Structure formats: structure tokens, C-alpha cells
């Protein structure tokens, strides 16, 4: 029911369903059902990375994101998923460049610790910061 009838507001108890937040293990298990690939489908490098490597790395990555950023801010599954997808490409960039292998997770976390500590990724998408090109175009249009 999207909008409850006004008669429900006059009763002592409003019918509702309690949806508790997911725990760390539950949220990571849900996201691990659809692991991301290290390299994009059109990118031919890193052919030695298997689907098992992708699944293992994605699972470890989701747990690291939860521990570093999401447990305090991304309390629902959708925001946690969005945060994981937003940081995935920058996080695996050293693997794509062959600096690290897909199973060197601890070294990758140490290398990318600045990325895992940057809270600017937690800002809502509502906040709009125009690019310098857009600001320049807007300023020329006003003159």
C-alpha cells in the first residue's frame, strides 16, 4: 500500500513491515552474487584472469569497502552497491596495468589505501559540481 487510508492513522498501531538493515556478511554475500570483471569486455589485456579470480577479488573488495567506507554511511544495499561499483575501476587499475595480480589483494589494498579513505565518494549524486568547461560555456552565454 503506497498511501495508507486516513482511518489507519486513527488506530493505535499503524500496519507496517519492519525491514532491518543488512549485516556486513549479508550485504557482501548479496553483492558477491554478481561479481564485476577486472578488465572490461572490450579490453583484451589480462587474459590470464579467470572468472574465479574475478569472483574472489570482488568478494574481498566488497568486504574492504564495507569496512572502510560503507559501514558508517552506506547503510542500505543500494547505496553500498553504488559505492562498490563507483570505486571498482580505480581500485583494479593496477591489476589492469599488470602492476599487481588478481590474488595480490592485501598489497592492492595497501597501494589503494588513499582511495579507501577518501570520503568524497560518499557524497550524494544530488550535489552537482559543474566541470570547468561547463562553467566557461555558462559564463560566455551570460555576456
pLDDT digits over 84-128, tens only?
Answer: 998 999 999 999 888 888 888 999 999 988 888 877 766 655 444
Q: 32: closest CA among 7, 64, 61, 10?
A: 61
Residue 142 neighbours by CB under 8 Å, 6+ apart:
none
Per-residue pLDDT, averaged over 9-21, amounts to 72
Res 117: pLDDT: 83
pLDDT for the residue 61? 94
For the chain, give the mean pLDDT. Answer: 77
Helix/strand/coil (H/E/C) assignment for every residue in 92-114: HHHHHCCCCCCCCHHHHHHHCHH
Give the mean pLDDT of 59-70. Answer: 90
C-alpha cell of residue 94: 593496477
> What's the pTM?
0.69
Residue 58 burial (C-beta neighbours within 10 Å; 0-12, 13-18, 19+): buried
Amino acid at each position: 500500500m503506497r498511501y495508507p487510508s486516513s482511518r489507519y492513522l486513527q488506530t493505535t498501531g499503524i500496519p507496517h513491515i519492519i525491514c532491518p538493515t543488512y549485516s556486513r556478511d549479508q550485504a557482501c554475500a548479496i553483492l558477491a552474487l554478481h561479481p564485476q570483471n577486472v578488465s572490461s569486455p572490450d579490453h583484451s589485456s589480462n587474459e590470464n584472469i579467470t572468472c574465479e579470480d574475478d569472483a574472489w577479488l570482488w568478494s574481498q573488495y566488497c568486504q574492504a569497502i564495507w569496512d572502510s567506507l560503507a559501514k558508517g554511511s552506506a547503510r542500505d544495499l543500494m547505496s553500498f552497491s553504488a559505492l562498490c561499483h563507483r570505486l571498482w575501476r580505480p581500485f583494479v587499475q593496477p591489476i589492469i596495468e599488470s602492476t599487481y595480480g588478481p590474488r595480490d589483494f592485501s598489497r592492492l589494498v595497501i597501494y589503494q589505501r588513499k582511495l579507501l579513505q577518501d570520503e568524497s565518494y560518499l557524497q550524494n549524486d544530488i550535489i552537482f559540481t559543474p566541470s570547468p568547461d561547463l562553467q566557461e560555456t555558462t559564463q560566455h552565454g551570460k555576456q
